Amino acid sequence: MTLEEKIEALTKNFEYLQAQNEEKEAQNNYLRRQLDAFMKEKRRNLRSSSSSRRIGSARVRREEDEPPFDGSSNGDDSPRFPRREPRQVTNFNDFKVDIPEFEGKLDPDDFLEWLQTVERVFEYKEIPDEQKVKVIALKLRKYASLWWTNLLTKRARQGKGKIRTWDKMKAKLKARFLPPN
């Protein structure tokens, strides 16, 4: 193996490792955002449950501490604590909807079913366009992940920019995993 071939092989290996690193960073960022959203929801739930407990306990104390009403008015008829009922929190996002993984099998029906599911999840979760490519890149496994990594490496070698839109990524996926008409 000549020195030039070794350099080329090392460059390819470096580009592959760099793409893998970017993929892992995207996965970490996605998981970090998911964890942040989960923690915010938990804090919100804790606050609402603790405030309803405080309201309930304040109501009990007030009723025990207040003297019985004797019909006289001292000019201040408003209670010390406003009477509030605990809020009923209706959360339609309390169940998990996730994008399925795609392994890259060459069955067009499986691919089309996966693609339709992805579109429905995007619509339901209202995922912003700028995040769709990164989210899907995290869900590619086995052959599909290898294909995506090679595509990114090839584009980088050719001096092309990153694929940033879901429409472009979807077109690339269709070109690869659907048979030509």
- Is residue 127 very low, low, confident or very high in pLDDT (cuts 50, 70, 90)? confident
Backbone region of residue 59 per phi and psi (left: phi > 0; alpha: psi in -120 to 50; beta: other values)? alpha
The pLDDT score that the predictor gives to residue 58 is 46
Q: Give the tokens for residue 152.
A: 């990114």
Do 78 and 62 meet the contact criterion of CB atoms below 8 Å apart? no
How much is the pLDDT for 158? 92
Residue 71 has pLDDT above 70, yes or no: no
Q: pLDDT per residue over 4-37, tens digit each?
A: 888 988 898 888 888 888 888 888 888 888 888 8
Residue boundaries of the structural domains of the chain? 1-67, 102-181
Instruction: Give pTM, 2 decimals.
Output: 0.47
